[in-house]
Amino acid sequence: MACSEPVSSVGENMSVSTAPRKPRILLATSGSVAAVKFANLCHCFCEWAEVRAVATNPSLHFIDRTAIPKDVILYTDNDEWSSWKKLGDSVLHIELRKWADIMVIAPLSANTLAKIAGGLCDNLLTCIARAWDYSKPFFVAPAMNTFMWNNPFTEKHLISIDELGISLIPPVTKRLACGDYGNGAMAEPSAIYSTVRLFYESKAKQGGEVILLQAERQIEYKTRLGLLRLSLPRYGQSDK
Half-sphere exposure of 121 (CA within 13 A, CB side): 11
Phi/psi at 181 (nearest 5 deg)? -115, 125
Contact 170, 139 (CB under 8 A): no
C-alpha distances (whole Å) from 11 to each of 4, 6, 20, 94, 223 are 14, 10, 20, 9, 44
Q: DSSP secondary structure string, 128-149?
A: HHHT--TTS-EEEEE---HHHH
Annotated catalytic residue, options 42, 44, 46, 93 = 93
Asked if residue 73 lies in contact with residue 102, where contact means CB atoms within 8 angstroms, the answer is no
Which of helix, strand or coil describes residue 17?
coil
Whether residue 113 contacts residue 140, with contact meaning beta carbons closer than 8 Å, is answered with yes
Written as one string, the DSSP assignment of 37-72 is GHHHHHHHHHTTSEEEEEE-TGGGGT--GGGS-TT-
Helices assigned H by DSSP within the chain: 10-13, 38-46, 77-82, 92-99, 110-118, 124-130, 146-149, 152-164, 189-201
178 assigned to active site? yes
Active site residue ranges: 93, 178
